[in-house]
Amino acid sequence: MDGQTLKTLIAIFLAAILTENYVLNKFLGICPFLGVSKKLDTAFGMSCAVTVVMVIATAVTWPLYTYLLVPQGLGYLQTIVFILVIAALVQLLETVLRKYMPPLYSALGIYLPLITTNCAVLGVTMLVLEKGAADPSFGYLQSLVNSFGSGIGFLVAMILFAGVRERLEDCDIPETFQGLPITLVAASLVAVSFLGFNGLVDRLM
Amino acid sequence: MEFITPILIVGIIGLLAGIILAVASIVMAGPKDEKAEALEEILPGANCGACGYSGCSGYAAAMSQGEAQPGLCSPGGPAVAKKCAEVLGAGETDKLVYDGIEGCSAAILLAGGSSSCLFGCMGLGDCVKACDYGAVEVCNGVAKIDPALCKACGKCVAACPKGLISLAPVKKQAVVRCHNCDKGKAVMDVCKVGCISCTKCVKTCPQGAIAMENGCAAVDPQKCTGCGLCVESCPRHVITMLEA
């Protein structure tokens, strides 16, 4: 691997975390973002599970799309096929983890079923294909790095937001804003702060 | 006929995935937690997360590990909580199974109720029926009064055959949730949250508001300032704070 490729991969990785954050820029995967971010440790467990699933899902759907669906002219089937494959894959992963890695299963296992049809996971697998179509040099390896970065980006967003929410717990919030309203306001502010990263990765390239 | 290929492809992928999963679940069958599975059957399966766990299976696992109490499931309500408690064996200390007329005043006639504790709430709801304002409900097998709805009419006080309910001023105060007159050893045998007359709370209270009455701690609501020191001192978690 030459230096230029490595540099591109790092740029893709950073872009996936900061400027193309799935939660805070693309607003995908908001359900776990709001649902599981009450506590720091559950947020961490959930994000790790999302990262693992994103990478594995991309690793399987990319070749499936490129070598099976496209040659048959069935690109339009990608949504339905991807959902099918990802759901099966996550179930399989859960079974394997439960058998061979019980500690990891108890850490991730309970979050795995929740993300079988998560839109962030589906979004990653479909958007890397879109990128690949726009730029031929964006191949399998780049897609994997992108999905790994997206998972880490999800983790960063979750951890940040869990921290914010733990602080909110101690605040004197007006009654009408308690619960979900103040959480949504806080989420939008965190998203706005991520806009500050715009253009950062372009300079790296 | 161009629609045959896509149907075949999706069908075959689905079939393959199904077969792989089925084989995997047989080949890699892990050790099963039967209690957790039984609990998950009882739970509504909405995976709403209201209990604070990731879903019904997470909550079921936590309950079977003893980390969570039954009754956190708000969609399921008291019915589900009761069934979960049965699976968990919370009713194991009962000395008999009462199957007669529904109601506390009837049940108490048979050896003082089904519970091994003679002084505890039976949860059969005479007080619920007595209340004209809907302020009393049975939650996890124990009657609970909503101070916001209570008009202090005293009908539930009269209805309770065990004399467990009393009127108290609405203010922040410590409440002893146990009324047993038994000796410590007898309490230890049948109950995890019963007063064992250790008198730690009596010694702790700076106001002298707690006294031992018939082998059980009792708080004088007039003297209690709601400092909460007794709540921390109680080794059996019998005392709780009542928020005004």
Fold topology of B37-88: 3-methyladenine DNA Glycosylase II; Chain A, domain 3 (1.10.15)
Nearest of A148, A93, A140 to residue A124 by alpha carbon: A148
Instruction: Judge if B92-166 and B168-244 fold alike in CATH terms.
Output: yes
Q: Where are the domains of chain B?
A: 37-88, 92-166, 168-244
> With contact defined as beta carbons under 8 Å apart, do B160 and B225 qualify?
no
Confidence of residue B30 (pLDDT cuts 50, 70, 90): low
**Greatest distance between any 2 Cα atoms in chain B:** 90
Residue B73 CA, distance from chain mean position: 11
**pLDDT reported for residue A108:** 66
- Residue with the two structure tokens 């209805």: B159
Residue range B174-216, pLDDT digits in tens: 888 888 888 878 787 777 778 888 888 888 888 888 888 888 8
Q: Where are the domains of chain A?
A: 3-204
Helices and strands (DSSP H and E) totals, chain A: 9, 0
- Rounded mean pLDDT of chain A? 84
- Distance, CA of A35 to CA of A19 (rounded, Å): 23
Region B88-106 average pLDDT:
71
Tell me which residues of chain B have a C-beta less than 8 Å from any C-beta of chain A.
5-6, 9-10, 13-14, 17-18, 20-21, 24-25, 28-30, 47, 49, 52-55, 57-58, 61
pLDDT value at B45 more than 90: no
Do the chains contact at B21 and A88, CB–CB below 8 Å? yes
- Distance, CA of A142 to CA of A128 (rounded, Å): 9
Nearest CA in chain B to A87: B17
Do the chains contact at A96 and B24, CB–CB below 8 Å? yes
> With contact defined as beta carbons under 8 Å apart, do B27 and B20 qualify?
no
Residue type, A81: V
Could you say which DSSP state residue B243 is in?
P
Confidence of residue A205 (pLDDT cuts 50, 70, 90): low
Burial class (CB in 10 A: 0-12, 13-18, 19+), A10: middle
- Distance, CA of A61 to CA of A204 (rounded, Å): 29
pLDDT value at B89 more than 70: no
Confidence of residue B4 (pLDDT cuts 50, 70, 90): confident
**pLDDT reported for residue A155:** 92
- Residue with the two structure tokens 């099918």: A84
List the structure tokens of B70. Answer: 């039954």
> With contact defined as beta carbons under 8 Å apart, do A123 and A26 qualify?
yes
Neighboring chain B residues of A38 at a CB cutoff of 8 Å:
52
Q: Identify the residue among B2, B4, B13, B63 best suited for mutation to test binding to A, counting A beta carbons within 10 A and taking the highest.
A: B13
Could you say which DSSP state residue A69 is in?
I
Q: Which of B5, B30, B53 minimises the CB distance to A99? A: B30
- Distance, CA of B199 to CA of B176 (rounded, Å): 12
> With contact defined as beta carbons under 8 Å apart, do A111 and A51 qualify?
no
Q: Which of A38, A69, A85 minimises the CB distance to B17? A: A85
> With contact defined as beta carbons under 8 Å apart, do B174 and B240 qualify?
yes
**pLDDT reported for residue B94:** 67
pLDDT value at B95 more than 80: no
φ/ψ of B30, rounded to 5, equals: -85, 175
List the structure tokens of B51. Answer: 């209990």
Q: Which of A68, A100, A110 minimises the CB distance to B57? A: A110
Region B76-97 average pLDDT:
72
C-alpha triplet A35, B70, B184: angle, nearest 5° = 135
- Rounded mean pLDDT of chain B? 82
Neighboring chain B residues of A68 at a CB cutoff of 8 Å:
9
Q: Which of B10, B18, B55 minimises the CB distance to A114? A: B55
Neighboring chain A residues of B10 at a CB cutoff of 8 Å:
77, 80-81, 84
Q: What is the CATH number of domain B168-244?
A: 3.30.70.20
Confidence (pTM):
0.57
What is the sign, positive or negative, of the torsion defined by CA atoms of A98, A104, A110, A112? negative
**pLDDT reported for residue B31:** 65
Residue type, B132: D
pLDDT value at A70 more than 90: no
Confidence of residue B146 (pLDDT cuts 50, 70, 90): confident
Cα–Cα separations (whole angstroms), residue B219 to B43, B211, B237 = 38, 7, 15
Interface pTM, i.e. ipTM: 0.70
Residue range A4-53, pLDDT digits in tens: 888 888 888 888 888 888 888 888 888 888 877 777 877 887 888 888 88
Nearest CA in chain B to A43: B54
Nearest of A21, A16, A19, A45 to residue A32 by alpha carbon: A45
**pLDDT reported for residue B229:** 86
C-alpha R_g of chain B:
24
**pLDDT reported for residue B19:** 92
3-state secondary structure B35-78: HHHHHHHHCCCCCCCCCCCCCHHHHHHHHHCCCCCCCCCCCCHH
Q: Which of A35, A46, A95 minimises the CB distance to B28? A: A95
For A154, the 3-state DSSP assignment is helix
Do the chains contact at B57 and A113, CB–CB below 8 Å? yes
Nearest of B49, B58, B57, B73 to residue A37 by alpha carbon: B49
- Distance, CA of A106 to CA of B222 (rounded, Å): 50
**pLDDT reported for residue A110:** 63
- Tell whether domain B92-166 is in CATH 3.40.50.2300: no
pLDDT value at B92 more than 60: no
Residues in chain A: 205
